[in-house]
Structure 1
Amino acid sequence: MKVPEWAYGVPPISVIGESYCTPYPLELIVKKKINKLSSSQFQVFDLSGNFLLKVDGGVWNFKLKRVLLDPAGFPILTLRGKALAFRHKWKAHAGESTHDTSNILFSVKQSHPLQIKKQINIFLANNFKKKEPDFHITGAYTSLSFKVYEGRRLIAEGKEKYKVKVYPEVDYAFIVALLVILDENDTP
Structure 2
Amino acid sequence: MTVYGVPPVSVVGENYCAPYPLELIVKKKIKKLSNAQFEVFDLSGNLLLQVDGGVWNFQLKRVLRDPAGFPILTIRGKVLTLWHKWKAHAGESTDDSNVLFTVKQSHPLQIKKAINVFLTNNSKKKEPDFHISGSYTSLSFKVYEGRRLIAEVKHNFTLESFCKGKERYKVKVYPEVDYAFVVALLVILDENDTP
Q: TM over 0.5: same fold?
A: yes
The RMSD of aligned alpha carbons is 1.6
Distance in 2 between residues matched to 1:63 and 1:144, nearest whole Å: 22
What one-letter code is carried by the residue in structure 2 that aligns with 1:178?
Answer: L
- Of 111, 116, 121, the match for 2:116: 121
| Superposition pairs of residues 1-188 of structure 1, within 5 angstroms | 8-98=4-94, 100-140=95-135, 143-161=138-156, 162-188=169-195
Distance in 2 between residues matched to 1:77 and 1:173, nearest whole Å: 9
Distance in 2 between residues matched to 1:45 and 1:141, nearest whole Å: 25
Matched residue count: 182
Distance in 2 between residues matched to 1:141 and 1:24, nearest whole Å: 30
The SS at the match of 2:121 is: helix
What whole-Å deviation, never above 9, does each CA across 1:85-106 have from its counterpart, x for those lacking one?
11100000000011x2111000
The SS at the match of 1:178 is: helix
TM-score when normalising by structure 1: 0.92
Q: How far did residue 145 of structure 1 move?
A: 2.5
Q: How far did residue 167 of structure 1 move?
A: 0.2
Paired residues of 2:85 and 2:104 also in contact (CA < 8 A): yes
- Stretches of structure 2 lacking an aligned partner (at least 5 in a row): 157-168
Q: How far did residue 159 of structure 1 move?
A: 3.2
- Stretches of structure 1 lacking an aligned partner (at least 5 in a row): 1-6
Detail structure 1 runs of 4+ shifted over 4 Å in the superposition. none
Distance 1:128 1:41, change over 3 A: farther
Distance in 2 between residues matched to 1:128 and 1:139, nearest whole Å: 26
